[in-house]
Amino acid sequence: MSGLELAASLAGLVSLGMELCKGITQYCMSYQGAQKDIELLHEDTNALIQTFESLQTAMQDSTLKLELEKSVTHIFSACRERVANLSKELEKYIEPTKAQSKRGSISIKARIFYPFQEKGVQKLRDDISRINEILQQATGSVLIRQNNKINDTIDRIHDSGELDKIKDWLLPPDFSTSQMIASDKRSENTGSWFLESEEFVRWQDSPCSLLWVSGGAGRGKTVLCSTAINYLIADSEHQRSSAVAYIYFDQTNQSVSQDHNRLLRSLVQQLAAQNTTGSVPAPLKSLYSRSQNGTRPPMTHDLTNTLRYLIETFSPCYLVADAFDECKEKQAFLKLVNTIIGQWKIPQVRFLVTSRSELSSELPNRSWKGFTLSLEESNNGDVRNYIETTLESPGEPLNAWDPERRKSIAKSLIARGNGNFRWVACQLERLRECSTNKDLDETLEGLPSTLEETYERTLAKVEESRKSSICHILRFLCFSARPMRLDEMSEVPAIDFEAKPRPKYCSEKRLVVGKAGYFNKYSDLFSIATIKVGDEEYSELRLAHLSVRDYLLSTKILTSPASYFYITELSAHHSIAQACIVYLQQFGTGDQLPTYEEAIFETPLTLYAARFWFHHVQASIKAASQQSSVATAYPTGIDAQQATLIILIIQFLTQLLGLLGVEAPVLMKSSGVKNQLLDLNQLCVDFLVSQGQTQIRFFDPDTPWVEKPRTSTTPGHAGPSPLYTAAQAGFLDVVRQLVRQGMDINSVGGRFGTPLQAAACKGYTDILLFLLKEGADPNLRGGDYGCALQGASRYGQEACVKILLKAGVDVNATCGEYYTAAHAAAFHGHAHVLKLLADNGADIQILRPRDRAEPLILAASVGHLAVVELLLSLGADVLTRDKDECTALDHAAPAGFDEVVKLVIAHDRACLKTSDRLGNTALHYTVAQNFPSVVELLLQNGMDPNFGNHQGRTALHSAIRTGNIEVIETLLRYGAAVNKKDAEGWTPLHLAAYFDKLEVGQMLLDTDGSIIDIPGPNEYTPLHIAVLRTNVEFIKFLGNRGAEFTHCLRVFDTNDGVVILRNFHVNYISPITGLRIAASYGLEVQLRDLLEGEADINGTDEGGRSALYYASRMGNNSIVRLLIENGADVKEKTDDNESFMDFWLDQDIIDLAYKHGYGDRPEVLSDMGDTAKQKPKEEMFEYLGGKLPADELAPYRFPYPQVDSPVYTLY
């Protein structure tokens, strides 16, 4: 039989077999319950159906189909004959004309002569069983492969979910929108010359190479970069081992973070997502684990190392960065480039960078060569193509001109464009406004020669009535703290900056309709982007190009008709700060304040103003200190052009005198800067005194990570005073003025307690010294940290700590959540501050009463190696125990801090012999985490793998729940006993059966096969436990390994099984760290500190338990509230399907949970859910039916035994 014939026949056999089984099933269901033999026939037929369904599924896989055809060749005829005979036999009892009715499909003859003779039914069962046996034997290996494929798919889906979880933790900036926008600007064949250039081809072919593409503003670098990215991505699709990751530096798009750490996160996430195995790469898993399972942000050096590992997994690996000249942290990025190309020297890496600057000027002393390409002349062809494509495009307004006119337009633009895309785009906008031949000719004849001249003309044409608004909006877009929405910028025209004595808000002047049209008129300056985040879509106002900002900030504009629009950093921040404060002042106080939701829609600039007004005041103060002393204000009677000339002369003379070492005369110094700051300071004072609490409804500077702050003060905390807010923001002159006005210098309120403590925490030494001079009490208690010294120590403010110590504070003062300043410095890793405290008499071994933790234990628990080294050198004892009798080793090992573990062991190996109050060692705790390297480290140093805790459980018992294969392999390699029982009789295999850890069970039986029927609690074997838990696959696994099935159902005879499971304390050792320990113990201050440090509020441990779960379980209602209000996911469930709502909570917390979306998802099982729960029981009894005598199975088969879900306790 040919392969084709066999394939067709096999498909026919499967189809015929399925029809046959359906017929028999239909017949059996008609008489279900009438007689036991029909019931058994039904079961046998269902088993055959499963085999046929597996074959049918396998045949859809081309590779498995070929193997199937080979496997059935020798048995095909016999099997087909048996199926055909059975089909004919069935036809005797089935009337095809009545096949649509279950009862009607059974012939009258069959009903009259029913029941069959016993031997007839038995023959049917024998034939069905034999067919099933033949097929199983012939195709078993193929079906196992199919099952493995399914399991692999499930694993990939699981890993995909895990990657999503890690991506949520990384929060990488998404550059895909930038890539899409740049690609959309590309005309056909744009950049083809670049891809074919010698430099690009050689770069692709050279190992560990860099291509640096340079060109001036508007040269089309970004479009060229997107072309290269698209080409590399398309090319990588043909090379499974390759990968592409890219970043866009774009100062006009602040929606995407330009922070170096976050750029690294993006590269890491992009490469991880391209992993060919579909699973989360091990280096990224390790990074997540080392960051306390996502409860603290990744460190830059860890991200850099992870990036290296990921690059090494691809060949080639392309990294692309556009517009390096717009990078905010240039030195950090250049260091990364130099590290990748010059130090790592990974052959498969290829790095492409575009920039205005040249490689030789950015990395002049590099030890390696790179390919370079200049765009000054290279892209003329692309510009020509762009112009011609635009003019010929359907729907293009310029396409309405006749061919000769279009040629004239193209010729003029090509001749004068000089390869500058941006210049050409601006002129096309001007030409689109032309309606007559005369207009067109005059416009073409008068085209500006440069981009600067283009912007100058646009600005000079701004109507007088709009000049002020446009100028202040440009200042916003040049120096805003985040991207500005169109709705927000539409509020700026309503602010009258010229009003006396100070600016005021006039709601009648705000833009209400035609907002986009208002800005589209100045398309050379502004662009509007549509942003979609989740279900929300909004418009964002941006500068049309970075060159607009360059022009506005350059001195070139001073000698032009557009000098009115000249922007300095000081003028911009001063303007924005004024706008924010004035905008907030419109609300008044009390009932006049809009709600948070109303503010978003009715007064769009409110949220930005409340969050960032003090940022712009701070920036104004900083800019003023750096601003040139040249006057920007000029005497009455001097026009703008005369004044700018005077300013340029003064700038030149000032610089010349500076070079000669002579200070400029007082007459040449500006009073304008001073006046600006005086006005701004007074505005701040007035705002803080009269309406300082206004902003807290929309943004609380005490908790900047909270998007929507609470409107009421925290219990036990008074509201902050104006002096407190000024001190916290760093406004020295405002603080001085408030103190002169008689404000209480020792008022208590706010997160940091007092103005003095707020200044100390933020590091404002000038304010700290002023307040101490004015009589502030340095020992006054209040706030999260109790006193100023502890606050300064927590934030590592060494200079402030020195000032406070000199002021005579008690270095061992006990207060606040951390207890002493030494504890605070140790926990947060400030070794230099801790050394300073110790030098001034701090007790570094003092125990905190709450948990008996000393600074060493705190430092070890969060992995601060330098602090641990310092404390050990100062005499700290590694054997000191906290209230749970845990040592520094017990805290450092489970968190995965290898270096700390090594240091502690080397200091005193006696720590390897310690155990806590439950008898657990560091090994018990560590095996439950994902740190095989630490497990290996502990075992290498002699820790006993078979040491039992007070319940008799060894490290192997503890490792079973998480099922980390590498950890378990390590334990077995070091001699962990697989047959050891705990106090209740549980062995590791019993636990594997309980938790359905199939691969772990295989490893245990491969180590010692004799334990398969080892008796455990109540003499139950692992099979009994698997049956009680309805873990079908584990039951089948034990069956295949030879487990004894006799009487395995006796676990249902009494309540003993349920009692055993209910009393089973599954102490699988889940040490809690970071947010979760703070939530468990109600450490509200520590929780806020971690959130301030960007800890992932929804990070979970290996059991899927979040900080919210732990807080709820421990009954810490105030912490639950804090977490929910800070963005905790109220819908999250643990791996065991538990929710934080499963515990006793106050009614107001329950109401809060529903308000935050808990009720959006059904939290109770539907009927379908109940059916789904029943299916594993059905499958289990189907399987046991083939292993047990009918009389033993019968009492349990119908109805199925009801076993309550087991309940176990964690501690």
Does one domain contain both 566 and 533? Answer: yes
Q: Is the pLDDT at 945 greater than 60, yes or no?
A: yes
Query: What span, in angstroms and rounded, lies between the C-alpha atoms of 270 and 306?
Result: 12
Same domain flag for 296 and 196: yes
Give the pairing of strands 243-248 and 484-485: unpaired
Q: Which of 180, 217, 245 is nearest to 418 (CA)?
A: 217
The Cα 576–Cα 476 span in angstroms is 6
* Residue that is last in its domain, among 87, 121, 151: 151
Task: Judge contact between 1038 and 1026, C-beta under 8 A.
Answer: yes
Q: Which two tokens stand for residue 361?
A: 């000027």
Written in H, E and C, the secondary structure of 442-506 is HHHHCCCCCHHHHHHHHHHCCCHHHHHHHHHHHHHHHHCCCCEEHHHHCCHHHEECCCCCCCEEC
Q: What is the CATH number of the domain that holds 288?
A: 3.40.50.300
pLDDT single digits (tens) 930-939: 789 999 999 9
Residues found in the chain: 1211
Is the peptide bond between 501 and the residue preceding it cis, with omega within 30 degrees of 0?
A: yes
Give the rounded percent of residues in the chain with a pLDDT score beyond 90: 36
Please determine, for residue 111, whether its predicted confidence score (pLDDT) is greater than 50.
no
Mean pLDDT across 648-673: 48
Residues 526 and 617 in one domain: yes
pLDDT (tens digit per residue) in 954-990 = 999 999 988 889 999 999 999 999 999 999 899 999 9
Digit-coded pLDDT (tens) for 719-746: 788 999 999 999 999 999 999 999 999 9
87 and 193 part of one domain: no
Return the closest-CA partner of residue 773 out of 800, 753, 738, 745.
745
As a whole number of angstroms, the distance between CA 859 and CA 871 comes to 9
| 1009 Cβ contact partners less than 8 Å away, ≥ 6 residues apart | 1041
* 443 or 111, greater pLDDT: 443
Is residue 582 classed as helix, strand or coil in its secondary structure? Answer: helix
- Maximum distance among all alpha carbons in the chain? 125
Dig out the tokens for 17 from the structure. Answer: 């077999």
Q: Looking at the domain assignment, is residue 802 inside a domain?
A: no
Domain that holds residue 660: 632-669
Residues 441 and 561 in one domain: no
Average pLDDT of the chain to the nearest whole number: 79
Residue 659 has pLDDT above 80, yes or no: no
Cα→Cα distances 520→398, 515, 526, Å:
18, 9, 7
Residue 83 maps to a domain? yes
344 and 279 in a common domain: yes
pLDDT for res 627: 67
Residue 72 φ/ψ, nearest 5 degrees: -95, 0
Using a pLDDT cut of 70, give the percent of the chain over it.
74
C-alpha–C-alpha distance, residues 667 and 145, integer Å: 89
Q: Which helix (H) or strand (E) holds 321?
A: strand 317-322
Q: Are residues 373 and 385 in the same domain?
A: no
Provide the CA 918 distance to its chain's centre, in angstroms: 36
What pLDDT, on the 0 to 100 scale, is given for residue 848?
93
> Please, are residues 887 and 902 in contact by the beta-carbon 8 Å criterion?
no
Is beta strand 526-533 parallel, antiparallel or unpaired with respect to 536-543? antiparallel
> Does the pLDDT value for residue 77 go beyond 70?
no
Q: Do 223 and 302 belong together in one domain?
A: yes
Order of strands across the sheet that contains 526-533: 484-485, 536-543, 526-533
Q: Are 481 and 613 part of one and the same domain?
A: yes
Question: 3-state class of 532 per DSSP?
Answer: strand
First to last CA, the chain: 66
- At which of 977, 1010, 1044 does a domain end? 977
Q: Which of 911, 932, 926, 984 is nearest to 958 (CA)?
A: 926
In a domain, 104, yes or no: yes
Residues forming a β-bridge with 320: 246, 352
Q: How many domains does the structure of the chain reveal?
A: 7
Is 896 inside a domain boundary?
Answer: yes
Return d(Cα 50, Cα 526) in angstroms, integer: 65
Burial classification of residue 1155, based on how many CB atoms lie within 10 Å of its CB (0-12 exposed, 13-18 middle, 19 or more buried) = exposed
Residues 610 and 534 in one domain: yes
- 490-500 pLDDT, tens digit each: 999 999 998 88
| Domain co-membership, 410 together with 373 | no
In a domain, 654, yes or no: yes
Q: Which residues contact 124 (CB under 8 A, 6 or more apart)?
A: 24, 41, 86, 89
Q: Which two tokens stand for residue 860?
A: 């070890």
Measuring CA to CA, how many Å separate 278 from each of 158, 271, 343, 1068? 10, 12, 30, 29
Is the pLDDT at 234 greater than 90? The verdict is no
Half-sphere CA count of 1174, side-chain side, radius 13 A: 13
**Gyration radius of the chain over CA positions:** 38
Q: pLDDT of 680-724, one tens digit each?
A: 888 888 888 876 666 677 888 888 877 777 655 554 455 788 999
Mean pLDDT, to the nearest integer, of 805-810?
A: 96
β-bridge pairing 317-322 and 349-355: parallel
Q: For residue 736, give Cα distances in angstroms to 315, 673, 684.
A: 62, 19, 12
How do residues 743-772 score in pLDDT, each as one tens digit? Answer: 999 999 889 999 999 999 999 999 999 999
pLDDT digits (tens, 9 = 90+) for 1165-1193: 333 344 445 567 777 777 877 777 777 77
Nearest to 1117 by CA among 1091, 1144, 1089, 1090: 1144
Measure the CA–CA gap between 956 and 1003, rounded to whole angstroms.
Answer: 12
Q: By the 8 A CB rule, do 166 and 294 touch?
A: yes
Evaluate whether residue 1059 is within a structural domain: no
Do 605 and 653 fall into the same domain?
A: no
Q: Minimum mean pLDDT among 528-537, 547-556, 735-744, 861-870: which range?
A: 528-537
Residue 785 lies in a domain: no
Domain stop point among 318, 347, 378: 378
User: What does the alpha-carbon distance between residue 104 and residue 427 come to, in Å, rounded to a whole number?
Assistant: 83
Predicted pLDDT at 1172: 46
Q: Which residues contact 1087 (CB under 8 A, 6 or more apart)?
A: 1075, 1078, 1079, 1107, 1119, 1122, 1123
Residue 958's CATH number: 1.25.40.20
Q: Is 699 part of any domain? A: no
Which H/E stretch holds residue 370? none
Strand segments, DSSP code E, in 877-969 are: none
Residue 893 in tokens: 């090992």
Average pLDDT over residues 2-17: 56
The C-alpha atoms of residue 1016 and residue 980 are separated, in whole angstroms, by 10
Is residue 1034 predicted with pLDDT exceeding 90? yes
Q: Decide if 649 contacts 559 (C-beta within 8 A).
A: no
